[in-house]
Structure 1
Amino acid sequence: MPNQRFYLKLAVIAFLILLLLIPQAFMLGLVGERASWREQAYQSIGQSWPGAQTLAGPVLAVPYQRTYNTRETVKDKDGKEREVLREATDEDTLYLLPSQLAIRSKLQSSLRYRGIYAAPVYASALQVTGEFNTQPLFDLLASNKDAQIRWKTPQLAVMVRDQRGVASPPALQWDGAPLAFQPGNGLPGGSSAGMHAKLPDIGLTQPARLPFAFEMELRGMRSMNFALLADNSDVQLSANWPHPSFSGELLPETRDVTASGFSAHWKASAFSYNVSGALEQCGKGECAGLLERAVGFDLLQPVDVYQQSERSIKYAALFIVLTFVALILFELLKKLRVHPVQYTLVGMALLVFYLLLISLSEHIAFLGAYAAAALASTGLLTLYFGAILHSRKLGLLLGAGLAGLYALLYVILQAEENALLMGSVLLFAVLAALMLATRHFDWYALAAGNGATPPRTASGTGHPATAAPDDSPAH
């Protein structure tokens, strides 16, 4: 009968653990729900502030009209065929990328709030310089020797992802002369966000280099990218945000991240960063692809509290199992009886830690929220353990062990890249300690005696050692 009662109780406890997985799943769902609300807050901020930005260009667009003779076969009235020469005209645009492009960016970031949620926004002061080579125009003339090319008004186009980010009208210096930009990039296909400037006729006496320069302030939110549209590109930027995540097809050659901000430097050539495919698509009337091949960075939040909370909740089952195992051992060794209702209350107290963590981390720093939630949960369970085990020492022992587990869990949460390794090592260490501590237990005798003292060997002998009585005061 005692064995049956013990095994029945183990079955009840196992069933309780399975039931406690339901509120654990609820906690994971709560994290996802709060994260979706934060994303909605970001979208709300994005409705009144420019979104993620990409700067592409400048691109020199030179439209032209080509007149040429074409041979056609026609039939006379008598049905004879003959060839005739006819004059044909078509129009096209030649798109040129800079031979040299240098971008200097100084970014100032701040936070915009919607309720309790904050999104990083920025204003980037940009200096763009470079030059175009007119050799492709002469190559076009050379490939159309039998045609007449009439050049039309060229224009310089700069593309941005969100038109609202252009804070003030920038001025262009083109071949040493000031020109005004107009809204809209003037390029075919896709988004028209950006700006363009009508240019004077390009002299075609001989190949030349045409320098350009302009300054602008570009505002955006959460990320900034640069399309390296040049034969040789050089991008240098600095920002006062200390948590960047570099993205794009090329990582910066050098970067320096400090507590006060970061700086980064990209260099690319036509060989390392091939944009000819996107330029060909632009020639076919689809220039939106020029925005897609870019490098840049995201402004990450210092701590993603929802990601950290979600990762911690995944360890809830481990905490519950370990705590229940400890209670079962003390129940057997100290001849105590812990009711399944008490096991349930202990499991709920362990789960309340995660609810406190989620709610507190939305208002204070994650470390402070974690410490407060762990202190509240550990303090409550320490008092409860002392009461149900009738021993203050045992309560403090279990509470100290639980506090140590919370401390180890926090270390694991901070080690993002090594979290799986550290979690696996922790699980192995706990299992090994439990197996070694109970390796001499006669579990049949413990279950049959309903708490009889286990036969422990003393100093390596095979004789049982007498367990010392617990003289702690009962509570």
Structure 2
Amino acid sequence: MGLYRVQVYSWKATLHAEYDPFDYAAEPTRVYGQPHLAMGISDVRGLVGTPHLQVDGRTLALESGAGALADRSAGIHAQLNPLTDPVAGRLRDGNKVDMQFVLDGTRRLAIAPIADNNEIGLRSTWQHPSFGGRFLPNAPSIGPKGFDASWSLSSLATGAQTQLQSSSTSLDTLEVRLVDPVDVYTQADRASKYGILFVVLTFVAFVLFELIKRLPIHPLQYLLVGLALAIFFLLLLSLSE
């Protein structure tokens, strides 16, 4: 409820990730800490309910905070099992990750493709999407029933991984905006741009009437007409809302 309308969405997301087995180089002077999974979310207030996370088929509890990403973004994270060898850094688990969550937002959704291979699909009933960011979808389908778009991105095509590991303040993202092509504000803006035309034509009509009929019009009448036109365009937006 309210005067100002904003497009909102509820994103029902399913995430699947697989990590290749990787052994860190053993260094006697370095001890690896507790491994964890982290996901950055610009505004965690949009999370609906509790996300469901499974790692290698085992359900894990999620905690607030973005873990290693805390300096960059808000978010959530989950602790993995300790390393089998704190020096060599061999992971016990975390090779397969499945997660389901619901995220509410307004106007736009942006995703940073930080994996080596990213397969992303979005489907919605909104009929007027606007695709932006650094990457456009592959042959999106847009129709009266909504849109269906997919991205297939390699780490070779994006610098998101490097940006994530550096101190860069922004990441390469793909983006979808929910656009209302002709809303009340667009109509009011268009009408206001033509306002001067209506004002000029009205006064031209008054002058022609005065010249043709040879009936003098009092300046006060011109003033009242001008004020009426000005007030109309001033009230146009508030009345339309």
* Residue number among 162, 165, 172 corresponding to 1:293 in the alignment: 172
Q: What residue number does 2:134 align with?
A: 249
- Say if 2:16 is the partner of 1:129: yes
Give the CA deviation at 1:150: 4.7
Give the CA deviation at 1:191: 3.6
Query: How far apart are the structure 2 equivalents of 1:262 and 1:347?
Result: 47
Distance verdict in 2 for CA 1:313–1:168, change over 3 Å:
closer
Name the SS of the counterpart of 2:103 in structure 1: strand
Q: Which runs of 5+ in 2 are unaligned?
A: none
Output one character per residue of 1:126-149: Cα deviation in whole Å (capped at 9) or x when no partner. Answer: 1111211234x45x45xx6xx566
Name the SS of the counterpart of 1:199 in structure 2: coil
* Residue number among 185, 210, 213 corresponding to 2:98 in the alignment: 213
Q: What residue number does 1:224 align with?
A: 109
Q: What residue number does 1:240 align with?
A: 125
Q: What residue number does 1:154 align with?
A: 35
Query: How far apart are the structure 2 equivalents of 1:129 and 1:327?
Result: 71
Give the CA deviation at 1:361: 1.1
Query: How far apart are the structure 1 equivalents of 2:7 and 2:38?
Result: 29
Output one character per residue of 1:309-332: Cα deviation in whole Å (capped at 9) or x when no partner. Answer: 234223222222223223323433
Distance verdict in 2 for CA 1:341–1:249, change over 3 Å:
same
Give the CA deviation at 1:237: 1.0
The letter for the 1-side match of 2:192 is I
Distance verdict in 2 for CA 1:266–1:238, change over 3 Å:
same
**1:373-412 alignment runs, 5 A limit:** none
Output one character per residue of 1:361-399: Cα deviation in whole Å (capped at 9) or x when no partner. Answer: 10xxxxxxxxxxxxxxxxxxxxxxxxxxxxxxxxxxxxx
Query: How far apart are the structure 1 equivalents of 2:165 and 2:231?
Result: 59
Name the SS of the counterpart of 1:117 in structure 2: coil
Normalising by structure 1, report the TM-score. 0.43
The letter for the 2-side match of 1:172 is L
Q: What residue number does 2:163 align with?
A: 278
Distance verdict in 2 for CA 1:173–1:336, change over 3 Å:
same
Q: CA RMSD in A?
A: 3.1
Query: How far apart are the structure 2 equivalents of 1:272 and 1:191?
Result: 23
Question: Would you say how many aligned residue pairs link Structure 1 and Structure 2?
Answer: 235
- Say if 2:203 is the partner of 1:321: no
Query: How far apart are the structure 2 equivalents of 1:197 and 1:303?
Result: 47
Output one character per residue of 1:325-353: Cα deviation in whole Å (capped at 9) or x when no partner. Answer: 23323433343333323333333343344
Query: How far apart are the structure 1 equivalents of 2:57 and 2:234?
Result: 64
Q: Which has the higher contact order (CA 8 A, sep 6+)?
A: 2
* Residue number among 7, 22, 34 corresponding to 1:120 in the alignment: 7
Normalising by structure 2, report the TM-score. 0.79
Point out the structure with max Rg over C-alpha: 1
